Chains A and B, each alone.
Chain A
Amino acid sequence: MDPFIPIMVILPIASALFLNLLHKNDRTVKILAIVTALVLPIIPLLTGYGSHYFGGYAPLSQNSAIAQGLPSLITGTQLFIFHPAITYVFASAQKVMIFILGIIAFFAVFTALNETKKPSGVYAFLMFMGTASVIAILLSDDIFNLYVFFEIAALAQVGIVIASNVKHNYETALKYVILGNIAGPLLLLGIALLLGVTGNVNITDIIYSIKHGLVNPQNPVLLMALGLITFGWLYGSGLPPFHTIKSALYSKALPHGAALIQAFTVFMMVALGVIILRIFSYLPFSKMAIIAVSLLALVLSITMAIVQTDFKRILGYLALGELGYIGIGLGLGTTLGITAGLFQAVNEAIITAFLFIGFGTVLYKTRTSDTRKLGGMMFKNPRVALLVLLAGLAMAGVPPLNAFQSKLMLIQASLQAGVPELGIIMILLSIVTFMTFMKAFYTIYMRPKPPELVIHDYKIPKATIISLVAFLIICLILGLFPQIATSNLQTLASSLV
């Protein structure tokens, strides 16, 4: 058992608690937040693969000291291999995703601390609690533990929006938490049904029970559990019908907060989507349902982005549309498809963070995000404009940037799976994504500055420029050497087929 596995969750939680306590000490908050954010992406690189059993309670089959002397009622049955404790599993796919999440968290915290005059310990607390929750969701092999961190992540996102001081942020936060209090308990009900049928909350044990005939796989209670867990997945992922509230959440957060929230959304979608595939992939319609919802997300979100006038809303809808690509990859159900979906998730998290922080410089200089009132920003900050343009090209899937590789893999996977129509739809919607982005880019950066627009002389912090350049470098590296990520993600994909 590698002790670093739980440290990936414990460190940000502990740091968050200290940051909250030391809220008024600006210097301490800054140092502690930066150190934690720096360490977060490093830990997964140092951690060995394996499982961590909380309390040290490995399955009896691995724990002969406890198993000795137990009756055959326990040792002669499946109880001998079942997991009695909460289990965290760390493998190559988790390494890639937690590393990327750590990178995004680092740059979000770094930008937040440098763009505000007074660092906020409470804001940093919320960012780290959300990050810790999503890391736990990625690691957890216990479905109830996943639900607990799912709820904590939702609360952290609400807190980040409340702390933003943007107009109507309280209303958006309340709407999101009300919807969360419907979706969350229904997700818990689905988990309860799984517990009732299989007697387990450990996902590996649930799958064992279903695959080895300990429970009837066609039990209608299992189907109901699938429906309820999928409903919770839709809420956490911002897939329809929750795409409008998720986009609103992105638009009401500060740019660095939105960059982090979208990363939470992407990785929660992947984690829960993988669990749905692991448990319910034997049901043929489960993959079709994932594809259907993802297609709907793709089409609805991108078309809604076209009509928006707030660039944060445009980015929010484009980001949610990109989730559709991830879902299509997962729903195709082949090794190439799932690998492509997971790779798209990693790329999309980086690119959307890149875009939010990039466009956030516009908000920083002009205090408005209304594209109707903006213009001429290219001449004020040509370097940032170039970086934002490159981020947009990355999102559209232009080589040699990263999303080109993942979208190409997705199209290849759809052809391989015998569904070329999906490939055509993905290409068409990529073009629409690019058109929508260019429309926003033109109105903000290229058209003449409206006379009533006031562009303040605030210098964009070096931290923001460093973050943007770093994201661009990561996009280039993953675009030129995709095997860095795909070779690690393929193991998980193969296990799901």
Chain B
Amino acid sequence: MVLSAQLFSFFTAGSLIVIGIFAALFLDNLIKKIIGLAFIGDGVNLFIITMGYKPGGIVYIFLPNMTISNFAQTASYPLPFALVLTSIVIGASTLAVMLGLVIVLNKRHDSLSASKILGDERD
């Protein structure tokens, strides 16, 4: 039951990435594109977290009543969670930049259509 929960989580991460790529490539509305891009980032983050899951694992805090051997064998791997925290921050920054650009472009072109805004550019 525990294994299938991890598998389900991987499947969800994969679905988020695929849905996000579809939205980013095929939807015309810029906000929907950006939501799709956020899905891709979230899917990758979920993938990493799921990878760090250990059945029966404990939180990686070494308490006084533990032995080093027992701790090394049962603690879950902390690295994926540290990576995801940084990745979430990066995702938030790029999301803010994209949304800021969309606000300015919406004011200029009075539209959220990617084909109109991004396709209109002529040098």
B98 and A188 form a contact (CB under 8 A)? no
Question: In the assembled complex, how far is the CB of residue B118 from the closest CB belonging to chain A, in whole angstroms?
Answer: 6
B79 and A174 form a contact (CB under 8 A)? no
Question: In the assembled complex, how far is the CB of residue B49 from the closest CB belonging to chain A, in whole angstroms?
Answer: 10
Choose from B69, B86, B94 the contact partner of A155 (Cβ within 8 Å). B94
A424 at interface (Cβ–Cβ under 8 A)? no
Interface residues, chain B, with chain A CB atoms under 8 Å away: 17, 21, 24, 30, 33-34, 37, 40-41, 43-44, 47-48, 51, 68-69, 72-73, 77, 79-80, 83, 86-87, 90, 93-94, 97-98, 101-102, 104-105, 108, 117-118, 120-123
Interface residues, chain A, with chain B CB atoms under 8 Å away: 70-71, 73-74, 144, 148, 151-152, 155, 158-159, 162, 168, 170-175, 177-178, 180-182, 184-186, 188-189, 192, 195-196, 199, 201, 251, 309-310, 313
A189-B24 contact in complex given A177-B98, A180-B94, A310-B123, C-beta closer than 8 Å:
no
Given A168-B121, A174-B118, A184-B41, 5 other A-B residues pairs in contact with their CB atoms under 8 A: A171-B105, A172-B121, A178-B33, A195-B48, A309-B123
A148 and B68 form a contact (CB under 8 A)? no
Q: Report how far A180 CA is from B69 CA in the complex, Å.
A: 43
> What is the chain B residue whose CB lies nearest that of A180?
B94
Q: Report how far A83 CA is from B72 CA in the complex, Å.
A: 17
Choose from A70, A144, A148, A181 the contact partner of B40 (Cβ within 8 Å). A181
A144 and B21 form a contact (CB under 8 A)? no
Q: Report how far A251 CA is from B122 CA in the complex, Å.
A: 12
B37 and A181 form a contact (CB under 8 A)? yes
What are 7 contact pairs spanning A and B, CB under 8 A?
A70-B68, A155-B94, A168-B121, A171-B120, A174-B30, A182-B21, A313-B123
Question: In the assembled complex, how far is the CB of residue A153 from the closest CB belonging to chain B, in whole angstroms?
Answer: 12
Choose from A71, A172, A178, A195 the contact partner of B72 (Cβ within 8 Å). A71
A178 and B98 form a contact (CB under 8 A)? yes
> What is the chain A residue whose CB lies nearest that of B98?
A177
- Tell me what chain B mostly uses at the interface: helix, strand, loop, or mixed: helix
A192-B51 contact in complex given A73-B69, A170-B104, A185-B41, C-beta closer than 8 Å:
yes
Q: Report how far A173 CA is from B86 CA in the complex, Å.
A: 23
B72 and A158 form a contact (CB under 8 A)? no
> What is the chain B residue whose CB lies nearest that of A174?
B101
B51 and A196 form a contact (CB under 8 A)? yes
Q: Report how far A49 CA is from B37 CA in the complex, Å.
A: 41
Query: What are the nearest 5 A-B pairs in CB distance?
Result: A181-B37, A174-B101, A168-B121, A185-B44, A192-B48
A158 and B97 form a contact (CB under 8 A)? yes
A178 and B44 form a contact (CB under 8 A)? no
Q: Which residues of B contact A159 (CB under 8 A)?
A: 97
User: Which of A151, A162, A181 has its CB near the most chain B CB atoms (within 10 A)?
Assistant: A181
> What is the chain A residue whose CB lies nearest that of B73?
A73
Q: Which residues of A contact B72 (CB under 8 A)?
A: 71, 73-74
A151-B90 contact in complex given A175-B118, A181-B24, A185-B41, C-beta closer than 8 Å:
yes
Question: In the assembled complex, how far is the CB of residue B42 from the closest CB belonging to chain A, in whole angstroms?
Answer: 9
Choose from B51, B105, B118 the contact partner of A195 (Cβ within 8 Å). B51
A201 and B24 form a contact (CB under 8 A)? no
Q: Which residues of B contact A181 (CB under 8 A)?
A: 24, 37, 40-41, 94, 98
A148-B123 contact in complex given A170-B104, A178-B33, C-beta closer than 8 Å:
no
Question: In the assembled complex, how far is the CB of residue B13 from the closest CB belonging to chain A, in whole angstroms?
Answer: 9
